[in-house]
Structure 1
């Protein structure tokens, strides 16, 4: 049990100063004042929240937990992410996925890593597939993966408008979206087709085609990287205004004179167009490479997405003047609702005890995940195997 005293609490809705008591992996009570019995009561950790703020743990729906990349050869394959790289940045739930390379990395590797992080203390899920179509699976079909493998919640990241994709046809995408939806219906999962959108001139036109020529609801398709260039972002605004869901990548940020749309600006613009924050999610693409190609398709440079990008962009959004209640939604309650992760993304009695404590400068002071204190006083206290106990 953990008792957090007198903390300014956001559900994300602001409910003022409260005491929060967690019991195992659930929030047991939220009240004006909670006093524990002095005797015959389980030992509880007590945290003074007087100078802190409580928010739900971050749900990152796009994480290359076994590493991504490889576009510059074998030495450019990004390494696996370790537990504290995620927890120290407030990520309490992540959805792992493959990317460009579905050959030297596979679904078996991905599920094994997700289970490892789960044992170490994180909430984990997985997308089945990779850039390629026909896509990588564990069973004989993507639908079968969603139905039969507990960790798998949908299909992704399937690449479109990208020279690294297998250039699926519009009908290929409709088939995959149908497989995802039906798999989700039969298993009680979200059944989303999670789509990587590249810099190609076609943008998200294939998704407009799906909308016009199929019966797939908007809630079963989620395009990501929509802020990678101005033209794509304009399409994404149109798609969201029509009712679609979009994912902003927090690690994609402007450098120099490029055409990247800053994640903060992207969020502000979507809100200005009266897009509900519950149609917007934000994810880090952490562990994935960020290659830059010239007009001839030659690789100029590449970086790697960082788990820190989510909390950094959340801080920037709040500092830009957007209310905390709204700023939190694309990192917490919106992905929880879209991915059908019941009890997550919100601080309420009976919900998951995944909690971040922020200081007055919006820096992460402590992180509780599944009722365990993972980070305390700015320092990780639970480490994964093979970590050297330093960040």
Structure 2
């Protein structure tokens, strides 16, 4: 089955103007002029979706999601629930990368991998970081290198904690060994092999990473540091690190993405080395999407400046081949957004329609035989803030 998306303004993520996008099963077959009559004359089964007045973009990528839920740092009852496909794709995310954090005891690598596989079965693209805050890294096969090499979904090590009282305070040599293990595993398996660092609120900030780079044969490009928006001092250090070739990430756990994005760019940050993530556990995909759209709709930032932070930049850093851009041969992860609000009108992941006319099509696999009724709306959720009916 082919899907012809017509009359939309394409951002691929660079602006390409009014073009058609042809999906052939799970692949983008064409971006540009597509002759509908030729498809009909050839007898190609196809659906035409007219998106006049809308924007067409690549599906968005979230590189840091606690798919099994958060650890609950105020006791067992404060653990947050796992994420389901509908909550993710409803807001335009077609690819997620799951991670463990401080808790690698109750939240396990086999459990995280199983969750990623479930999301894949339900239509999303799902990858995984091996490890957690601790060093040595928690793994499935015995080492980070083996996990990266032999488990398809695992792309690197993370989130390894530095400058955080909950971390293991690893020595620079230990970090260098772990980063090299990840790099070699990625090199041998044609994966990213980067180490994803959780940067805490500690006063040493990125000091440990600078030490590793100074004292060992470690490349800046092996580093992918997140939570860099904690302070101006940390942000300035992250800008310097990115200028050396590392990748850095701003999370959206707090509602200040526009501020920190402007700070990063105004102070010489390399826009191609920056990504944005949700750190979703307490945070949500919806809140992440709203902050991204807020930068464009309410703060006047150009679409071409913001969109790569959740598409092409992320795909490049994580070596997610054939993702993050709209071009022939890539995976058919495509969004159609309302021009004025950037709300999701349609979404396809791997060519499968997940959202149609603003209504969710995707369903969690367990629903078919379940008698459960699950409606969870956090006290700090956007739905509460906007006064929407609970469960809407």
With the length of structure 1 as denominator, give the TM-score of the two structures: 0.90
Spell out the pairing of 1:110-121 with structure 2 (5 A cutoff): 110-121=112-123
CA contact (8 A) 1:19 1:34 kept: no
Deviations 1:287-345, CA, capped at 9 Å, x for gaps: 2xxxxxxxxxxxxxxxx111113321221221322211111111100010111111100
Structure 1 residues 270-301: Cα deviation after superposition (integer angstroms, max 9, x where no partner): 222333321001110112xxxxxxxxxxxxxx
Note the alpha carbon deviations across 1:152-172, whole angstroms, 9 max, x for none: 110000111111111111211
Q: Aligned partners of 2:24, 2:355: CA distance in 1, in Å?
A: 18
The CA deviation at 1:227 is 0.6
Instruction: Give the superposition deviation at 1:73.
Output: 1.1
Matched residue of 1:111: which SS? helix
- Does 1:309 pair with 2:287? yes
| 1:2 match | 3
| Partner Cα distance (1:154, 1:40) in 2 | 44
Check if 1:376 corresponds to 2:356.
yes
Aligned residue in 1 for 2:327 = 348
Residue 366 of structure 1 pairs with residue 349 of structure 2: no
Distance in 1, matches of 2:311 and 2:275, equals: 8
Q: Name which of 262, 276, 296 aligns with 1:318.
A: 296
Provide the C-alpha distance between the structure 2 equivalents of 1:38 and 1:26, rounded to a whole number of angstroms: 19
Structure number having the greater helix percentage: 2
Superposed displacement of residue 42, structure 1:
3.8
Of stretches 306-315 and 81-90 in structure 1, the one that deviates more from structure 2 is: 306-315
1:182 corresponds to which residue? 184
Cα drift, residue 385 of structure 1: 2.4
SS at match of 1:328: helix
Bigger drift between 327-336 and 308-317 goes to 308-317
**1:33 to partner: Cα distance:** 4.1
8 Å Cα contact 2:71/2:107 also seen in 1: no
2:129 to 122, 127, 130: 127
> How far apart, in 1, do the equivalents of 2:243 and 2:184 lie?
26
2:103 to 101, 108, 117: 101
- Within 5 Å, which residues of 2 pair with 1:188-207? 188-207=190-209
In structure 1, the partner of 2:245 is 243
Q: Secondary structure at the match of 1:15?
A: strand
1:268 to 259, 262, 265: 262
Which runs of no fewer than 5 residues in structure 2 stay unpaired? Answer: 368-372, 375-390
C-alpha separation in 1, matches of 2:18 and 2:42: 28
* Map 1:193-232 → 2, pairs under 5 A: 193-232=195-234
Structure 1: any 5+ residue segments left out of the alignment? 254-261, 288-303
Aligned partner of 1:146 in structure 2 is 148
TM-score relative to the length of structure 2: 0.90
